[in-house]
Amino acid sequence: MKVLLVTGGAGFIGSNFVHSQLKNTENKIINLDKLTYAGNPQNLATLANESRHVFVQGDIGDSVLLEKLLADHQPDAVVNFAAESHVDRSIHGPEDFIQTNVVGTFHLLEAIRAYWNQLNPQSQQSFRFLHISTDEVYGSLTTDAPAFSETNPYAPNSPYSASKAASDHLVRAYHHTYGLPTLTTNCSNNYGPFQFPEKLIPLLIMNALQGKALPIYGDGQNIRDWLYVEDHCSAIAAVLAKGSVGEVYNIGGNYEKTNLEIVHTVCAILDELVPDSPYRPHHKLITYVKDRPGHDRRYAIDPSKIAREIGWQPAETFESGIRKTIAWYLEHRGWVENISSGSYQNWIAKNYGAR
Ligand code: NAD
Ligand code: DAU
């Protein structure tokens, strides 16, 4: 049994990771999350009686809290999911992104460095800090350019991706300068259960079920690579177990699609799964809206390093993963309703009102 300190474990990917760890391993999880608008205790509701899960509400920028948590729980590894994660929010207000993604990661690294320095040599050697990052740090690709490899230069284009790039550089420097045993993963677009409906796929599902417009930015030809969240979690576990210290691993689903193809797929599955919907065919709800400023045209991941060195492959295809995802949202209407609070409506008005 290992003790993992997971940050941001009440968010989308973090909560899926916590569930998969508790299901597939004997590990104990200390889950530190600030519970911003994106952190949802309901994502962890089924763990109320799980003794291997300890939830702590707090900020990765709180050095005093971090020192205490590290001393009390003596983790074998830290997995850092905590971040502001939505590109559109970073355009409306970048400050929180700098605060959490850059300054917060810096404080987290400092606390971990102090903790790691006083471990015995054997524990120092086996300790890992895994930083969860994104393919967006590499910038935008033209249609026929090769997919991002780990050696691509960084060229972030949004305040979000710039803040993630800065945090990746800090992680790299802490390994290079202090010898901290770090790992970094850069993953493509995730989808699946517990994703906050500000992101494309859950927004489409929620809006379609309510007969609302399905907003597509610009011409809908922007391309993303899509990965089912449980596959991202299995990749993270594999990198934690087998990754070489100081290395970076790109993670992707080998599924590049335009946003228009994604929305048509979601609509077709909803037509099939909700045959009595008054809004069928759902594709009639598709509405082109003003583009996102600085909208990256294409992301694509070359996942050959993680496949070759670690032996990881995704288990789901997009076809199987998207069906599971839509079925989950249909079965969890209560979760969806609780999310659709006043603050969510305020965000929708702010982001889509002027488009
Ligand atoms: P999310 O927004 O759903 O969750 C982020 C979580 O971090 C929330 O629970 C929030 O409360 C918590 N948090 C925010 N600020 C914090 C702070 N200062 N201290 C402690 N907790 C804080 O995000 P997500 O989609 O689950 O993404 C998780 C990580 O994965 C992020 O680092 C993101 O950059 C990265 N990532 C996301 C995707 C994707 O498609 N969603 C793809 C690649 C990488
Ligand atoms: O690539 C990994 C990244 O994927 C992560 O690092 C981010 O945390 C995550 O939010 C995601 O970023 P994107 O900007 O690609 O995801 P989003 O779901 O916001 O948008 C996906 C695409 O859909 C993008 O081209 C913008 C477009 N879009 C999005 C929304 C919310 C629309 O056309 N309409 C919308 O309403």
The yes-or-no answer on residue 136 being catalytic is: yes
Nearest Cα to 162, choosing from 190, 189, 138? 138
| Beta-strand relationship, 53-57 and 77-80 | unpaired
- pLDDT for residue 210: 96
Decide yes or no: CATH 3.40.50.720 for domain 3-191+228-253+298-315.
yes
Residue 211: predicted pLDDT = 98
Give the number of C-alpha atoms closer than 13 A to the C-alpha of residue 216, restricted to the C-beta side: 19
* Catalytic residue, candidates 59, 84, 135, 316: 135
| Weakly modelled stretches of the chain, pLDDT under 70 | none
pLDDT at 354: 85
Q: Ligand 2: distance of its center to the CA of 199 in Å?
A: 6
The pTM score is 0.99
Give the model's pLDDT for residue 198: 97
User: Could you tell me the distance, in angstroms and rounded to a whole number, from the CA of residue 86 to the centre of ligand 2?
Assistant: 7
Question: Distances in Å between the alpha carbon of 280 and those of 13, 145, 180, 258?
Answer: 31, 38, 54, 22
Check residue 21 and give its pLDDT: 98
Do residues 59 and 99 touch, judged by C-beta distance below 8 A? no
Residue to mutate, 16, 19, 36, 148, ligand 1, most ligand atoms under 8 Å from C-beta: 36
Q: Ligand 1 centroid vs 235 CA: distance in angstroms?
A: 17
To the nearest 10°, the Cα dihedral for 228, 233, 234, 238? 140
